[in-house]
Structure 1
Amino acid sequence: MGAASTVQPAKSCGPDTVAASELPVTGIAIHYPQGHVVPMHQHQHGHLIYASQGLLRVEAETGQWLVPPTSAVWLRPEVAHRLIVPVALQAHGLFIRKDICANLPTTDCVVQVSGLLRETITELTCVDYTTPLSRRTHLLSELLLEELNTPPALPFHLPWPQDAQIQNVCHQLMGDPSHQATAGDWASTLAIGEKTFHRRFVKSTGMTFGKWRQQLRLMSSLTQLMQGAPITQVALNSGYDSHSAYTTAFKKQFGHAPSEFIQRQLVMQ
């Protein structure tokens, strides 16, 4: 969420006012249509982005995150990022003053949003920050900070390489997650040995090529699932040979079968 967006917030004070506030916690709710992109930007405060409806992709130099309705992405102060909206989105953005962030997660991550945290976020994004704040708002802010110390990081993160050649491979895979080229094929394309390719890939991403590609495929498949595509079609589009192979990988990664995952998202909306 940032000043570059042309989408109108659902309250009188805009994103610039909220993001620049010196209050401990401020928030804003904005609706983004499908396909909307907020260009690369950054905030001086810590930034928590929760999608109560739809799906959001957050891209930064350090990686990419997908945010379904049961989750929120946490970004540390001054982390440059852009937002991509693959499915129409109701977003809630909270800004937490930099000096307070020392007690919050020390890495950018996606966190689980409990029922209590969800309601706290929603309440804080309905506040009019141009008027004096009530005791209730201050208490809600304290509750939010306490809750953010609790949720564990979730597996919705895709690390992004800094190595230019490996980055080019990842860009191509992003464009076609079902791409079947092996590590050996990519190594030949780059005119390097396969062992060298594997070593550089792990060094640049912290993950093996196979694990990274699987995580990309599973994360990319969420957009299709949220758009209502049949699971078998999603599996094939994502590079899996069958419904069962996709379901097994999905459940291992996210803890739920694809059908259960979608049902959970619908309940949260």
Structure 2
Amino acid sequence: MKNVPLAEVDHVDRAVLPIGTDYPPGHVLDWHAHRRAQFLYGATGVMVVDTADGTWTVPPERAVLIPPTTRHRVRMLGVSTRSLYVEPSAVPWWPAVCTVVDVPPLLRELLLAAVEFEPDYSLSGRAGSIAALLLHEISERAPLPFHVAIPATAELARLCRAYLAAPDAGVTNADWAAAAHMSERAFTRRFRTATGDSPAVWRARARLLAAVPLLRAASVSEVGARLGYASPAAFTAAFTRAFGTPPSRFATTGTPR
């Protein structure tokens, strides 16, 4: 199915409903939820998925597993998606929080084939076999670390979301503590309890996540400088430590890579 709203087919008696959707650049799917689990694959571009608990950046050729009934927002940056909407009873192993995963060639080809199915595809033929194999392949995927946690406290959450919107290497723990009307020590302790990271570590990771969409239109050198790194080598080293792959994997223009 292509460009079909889930609401039109959600009633169909199939555990897996594949839907492909094309979005205009910069499109935002505002806050919403669906009763089915969702495997959201970006065949092109970058997606940023927000929930109350965190932000997940989904690079090209990756996907995010979204649990059923999870309220979320998706920002599409040049994205054409291939989604699977899955009955929760069919995937008791589905993660309880959003999870970014790799999409190897076999899984990608299965997804591309599946979005050509009719809503009531035959369960006993090729389509049914592909749908079953898709779930087996997804269950084997390992999580990738393209996310940061968002604190439950509204005040801390506001600071984090504002930083994600405009990451600035010049922001310090003292700046955040002052904005929260707390001592730096008390703020740092509270933030670490809420997220599992110190504020400085959290901000460094947030800047690296911000690099992923920026690399679609700028070189590694340009993105590293914009995010406050002293050199392309320093940026590349930090990015590779955080995500297990160099930023050149996502860069489309400029040098060095």
After TM superposition, the score normalised by the length of structure 1 is 0.87
Match for residue 146 of structure 1? 136
CA distance in 2, matches of 1:250, 1:78: 32
- C-alpha contact (below 8 Å) 1:178/1:240 kept by paired residues: no
CA distance in 2, matches of 1:88, 1:107: 25
CA distance in 2, matches of 1:95, 1:112: 18
1:91 to 70, 73, 81: 81
Match for residue 101 of structure 2? 111
- Structure 1 residue 50, shift from structure 2 partner: 0.1
CA distance in 1, matches of 2:55, 2:192: 17
- Structure 1 residue 41, shift from structure 2 partner: 0.8
- C-alpha contact (below 8 Å) 1:18/1:27 kept by paired residues: no
Task: Mark the runs of 5 or more structure 2 residues left unpaired by the alignment.
Answer: 253-257
RMSD of aligned alpha carbons: 1.8
Match for residue 36 of structure 1? 27
2:157 to 139, 162, 167: 167
CA distance in 1, matches of 2:28, 2:237: 32
- Structure 1 residue 185, shift from structure 2 partner: 2.4
Match for residue 242 of structure 1? 231
Match for residue 2 of structure 2? 10
Q: 1:160-217 CA distances to partner (integer Å, 9 max, x unpaired)?
A: 1111221122122123212412112221232212121111111222222122111111
CA distance in 1, matches of 2:9, 2:130: 17
Match for residue 80 of structure 1? 71
Task: Mark the runs of 5 or more structure 1 residues left unpaired by the alignment.
Answer: 1-8, 264-269
**Secondary structure of the structure 2 residue equivalent to 1:26:** strand
CA distance in 2, matches of 1:56, 1:238: 20
**Secondary structure of the structure 2 residue equivalent to 1:218:** helix
1:102 to 92, 100, 104: 92
**Secondary structure of the structure 1 residue equivalent to 2:79:** strand
After TM superposition, the score normalised by the length of structure 2 is 0.91
- Structure 1 residue 134, shift from structure 2 partner: 5.3
CA distance in 2, matches of 1:243, 1:236: 7
CA distance in 2, matches of 1:19, 1:153: 27
- Structure 1 residue 20, shift from structure 2 partner: 4.2
CA distance in 2, matches of 1:59, 1:52: 19
What is the number of equivalent residue pairs in this alignment? 252
Identity among equivalent pairs (%)? 31
**Secondary structure of the structure 1 residue equivalent to 2:215:** helix
- Structure 1 residue 80, shift from structure 2 partner: 0.7
Match for residue 17 of structure 2? 26
